[in-house]
Structure 1
Amino acid sequence: MHTSTPPRQAVVVLDPGHNGGNASAAAAINRHVPAGRGRTKPCNTTGTSTDAGYPEHAFNFDVAQRTGRILSAEGIRVVFTRDADDEVGPCVDERAAIGNAAEADAVVSIHADGAAAGARGFHVAYSAPPLNTAQGQPARRLADALVSGLADAGFPVADYIGAAGLSARDDLAGLNLSERPAALVECGNMRNATEAAAMSTPEGRQRYAEAIAAGTLDFLGR
């Protein structure tokens, strides 16, 4: 009897930046680890916060969880680089290794920026120049899809960094060390009062999650 092999389930790794325990573990997060291109960087950082004190690590974690639920409902296998927001790390090189080990079809790192108060908008970073095939056209297509997802949801592109919502970077360890298509989303500026207000509400975070999920699904051809 002939049996067909079921199609491979798509895998997305979501990487919520930073972690809630980082601030109390300076020695651990300041330890240098490989960052690609022959460089090293601190294991991790504490991230930024709104002027009212809402921390980036909490925003990142909640948006990632919300994004994961949307993707899971679409039949995607979702892997997180961290499953709690009160721990330390993982280091940036370990985060990249999680995506590589999962053989992810897409790796999406979720962050928020801490720029000058007048700056606004999102941007999506990708590794450039690419260090392997996945960092070439696949990563750029992922970045483009994420830009479209956020822009289509009504989020403004950054007016202070990159161009048309895209930022080519050679200094981000998680992107440099990735062997899978990877991009990093800076959802907006936590020091901008308007964007901080949106990021600080469950409704605002759900909008970001829906936009990131839409871009990811578009990249996957779903």
Structure 2
Amino acid sequence: MPHHVRKPLVRTAVAVACALVAGCGATAEPDAKPAGRDASKPAASPSVRPVRPVTPVTPSAGAPLAGRTIVIDPGHNPGNFRHTAEINQKVDIGTNRKECDTTGTATADDYTEAAFTLDVSHRLRDLLKAQGATVVLTHDADRPYGPCIDERARIGNEAKADAVVSVHADGSAAGNRGFHVILPARVQSGAADTAPILAPSRTLGERIAAHFARATGTSPANYIGSGTGLDIRDDLGGLNLSTVPKVFLECGNMRDPKDAALLANAAWRQKAAHGIAEGIGTYLKG
């Protein structure tokens, strides 16, 4: 779940081709919580579910993504809950100042968002490397906490990434189901100027939404994005400070029992990674 407080005036949805894609049927930062989400998320300790071991990857024949750089941003950090003072320090996000990071949310049985995002990010990294891409992770649980949201944006900028995807899961109320992709709003304030990345970020988000729906069999969120699976935000530092195409993906709602069962399932997480990889690939290949 990204680190944010939602601003209702910027919850603008955009059209997406997802409705035309087979399989978009019903489901079978630091950024603080937006209004309407579960404000009582637990600051749980990391889940006992192990992160999937990373295995060597051999680029496939043709390497269709050779020469491309992709940054994957696993939301939150398993160690954040032990460093609340540090992650509560505020940083500049262009439009205002917000906390460095948050702990993220968790399922009812304490499968944490940080564990989920890292697992999906590892799977996604493997798939993209197999296609020849250069892949950079903003972190790999190799630091005590963070990185802060402004540093996460800098990592993508300094890598001159062709695409950046920040992987998250939401913490909304039970009954709120489905995924959504967060796109940058037009922001020109202080260090933030999103004008150059608006169009490519929208295209990246649309491609990921369509392929994620098809790969996972899940639907766009029934509570955000007016059914399109796309939402525009101006309160996320990771988007405001980006100079390269970037989106956030909320893969599902960890506080809904049915979504939580999917998110905790390793086979489903592999499908999620495939959907994201396919969306990125079609975006980069035009």
Query: TM-score w.r.t. structure 1 length?
Result: 0.93
- State the identity %: 48
Distance 2:144 2:116 in 1: 15
One-letter amino acid matched to 2:85: A
RMSD, matched Cα: 1.5
CA deviation profile, 1:151-201 (whole Å, cap 9, x unmatched): 222221000011300000000110000000000000000011111111112
One-letter amino acid matched to 1:138: P
Structure 1: gaps (5+ residues) = 1-6
Q: Which residue of the other structure, out of 81, 106, 113, is the alignment partner of 2:163?
A: 106
Displacement of 1:87 in angstroms is 2.7
Q: Helix, strand or coil for the counterpart of 2:93? A: strand
Displacement of 1:135 in angstroms is 2.2
Deviates more, 1:78-87 or 1:22-31: 78-87
Displacement of 1:86 in angstroms is 6.7
2:5 aligns to what? none
Distance 1:132 1:170 in 2: 10
Conserved 8 A contact 2:184-2:194: no
One-letter amino acid matched to 2:241: L
Q: Which residue of the other structure, out of 213, 218, 222, is the alignment partner of 1:151?
A: 213
2:266 aligns to what? 202
Matched, 1:190 2:254: yes
Conserved 8 A contact 1:59-1:200: yes
Q: More helix by proportion, 1 or 2? A: 1
Matched, 1:15 2:73: yes
1:3 aligns to what? none
One-letter amino acid matched to 2:246: A
Displacement of 1:8 in angstroms is 7.0
Deviates more, 1:145-154 or 1:20-29: 145-154
Conserved 8 A contact 1:61-1:85: no
2:179 aligns to what? 122
Deviates more, 1:73-82 or 1:154-163: 154-163
1:62-101 superposed matches below 5 A: 62-84=119-141, 87-101=144-158
Conserved 8 A contact 1:112-1:188: yes
Structure 2: gaps (5+ residues) = 1-64, 188-192
1:54 aligns to what? 111
When the two structures are aligned, how many residues end up with a matched partner?
Answer: 215
Distance 1:132 1:115 in 2: 27
Q: More strand by proportion, 1 or 2? A: 1
Distance 2:266 2:72 in 1: 19
**Closer, same or farther: CA 119–201 of 1 in aligned 2, 3 Å:** same
Q: Helix, strand or coil for the counterpart of 1:197? A: helix
Displacement of 1:85 in angstroms is 6.5
Displacement of 1:133 in angstroms is 4.0
CA deviation profile, 1:18-56 (whole Å, cap 9, x unmatched): 00110010110000001122x111000000000111000
Displacement of 1:118 in angstroms is 0.4
2:229 aligns to what? 165
Conserved 8 A contact 1:20-1:86: no
Conserved 8 A contact 2:79-2:141: no
Conserved 8 A contact 1:125-1:185: yes
Matched, 1:180 2:244: yes
1:27 aligns to what? 85
Deviating 4+ runs (over 3 angstroms) = none
Conserved 8 A contact 1:57-1:85: no
Conserved 8 A contact 1:58-1:85: no
One-letter amino acid matched to 1:59: F
Distance 1:166 1:92 in 2: 21
